[in-house]
């Protein structure tokens, strides 16, 4: 049962987060806070021709929130903004258990976070980085899961 939540890929991304760095000189930056548990994440983006050229994050949180941020950067890098938004929506649907969600082959990794839906308290951990990404995209400075 615990293995469904803490799958190998989540443990790996928690231990070795991808794209954990800042990006200098970008206007697309937001901070996300999960006030109840104290998780904090900052997401950086560079956008050219409506395509996410680069995306990164820094911050601290539990394994679920770190792995979700790390997997998110891998999933969204190089994607057009419209597609990135659609991926966020699908990801959100998966966490909320809203109907059947199936990602295309290159995004399959995101499905490891599907186990979170059985633990309502942890859904916010998995969605924090994504809400922060959305805020950075829209030029908002702060995102909160509350």
Residue 6 contacts other proteins per CB under 8 A: yes
- List 61, 112, 134, 143, residue binding other proteins (CB under 8 A): 61
Distance of closest approach, residue 63 Cβ to other proteins, in angstroms? 5
- List 9, 51, 58, 63, residue binding other proteins (CB under 8 A): 63
Is the Cβ–Cβ distance between 139 and 29 less than 8 Å?
A: no
Residue 13 contacts other proteins per CB under 8 A: no
- List 9, 62, 101, 109, residue binding other proteins (CB under 8 A): 62
CA distance 42 to 44: 7
CA distance 17 to 58: 10
CA distance 120 to 27: 33
28 vs 122, beta carbon nearer other proteins: 122
CA distance 25 to 9: 32
Residue 37 contacts other proteins per CB under 8 A: yes
> From its phi and psi, is residue 68 left (phi > 0), alpha (psi between -120 and 50) or beta?
alpha
Got the DSSP string for 115-145? GGGG-GGGHHHHHHHHHHHHHHHTT-SEEE-
Distance of closest approach, residue 127 Cβ to other proteins, in angstroms? 15
Residue 81 contacts other proteins per CB under 8 A: no
Residue 119 contacts other proteins per CB under 8 A: yes
Binding site for other proteins (CB under 8 A): 1-2, 5-6, 11, 14, 36-40, 60-64, 66, 119, 122, 125
């Amino acid at each position: 049962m615990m293995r469904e939540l803490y799958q190998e890929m989540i443990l790996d991304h928690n231990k070795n987060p991808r794209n954990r760095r800042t990006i200098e000189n970008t206007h697309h930056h937001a901070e996300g806070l999960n006030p109840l548990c104290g998780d904090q994440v900052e997401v950086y983006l560079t956008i050219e021709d409506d395509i996410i050229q680069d995306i990164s994050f820094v911050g601290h949180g539990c394994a679920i929130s770190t792995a979700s941020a790390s997997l998110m950067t891998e999933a969204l890098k190089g994607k057009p903004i419209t597609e990135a938004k659609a991926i966020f929506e699908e990801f959100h649907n998966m966490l909320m258990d809203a109907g059947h969600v199936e990602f295309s082959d290159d995004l399959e990794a995101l499905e490891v976070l599907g186990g979170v839906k059985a633990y309502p308290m942890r859904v916010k951990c998995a969605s924090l980085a994504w809400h922060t990404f959305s805020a950075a995209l829209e030029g908002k400075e702060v995102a909160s899961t509350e």
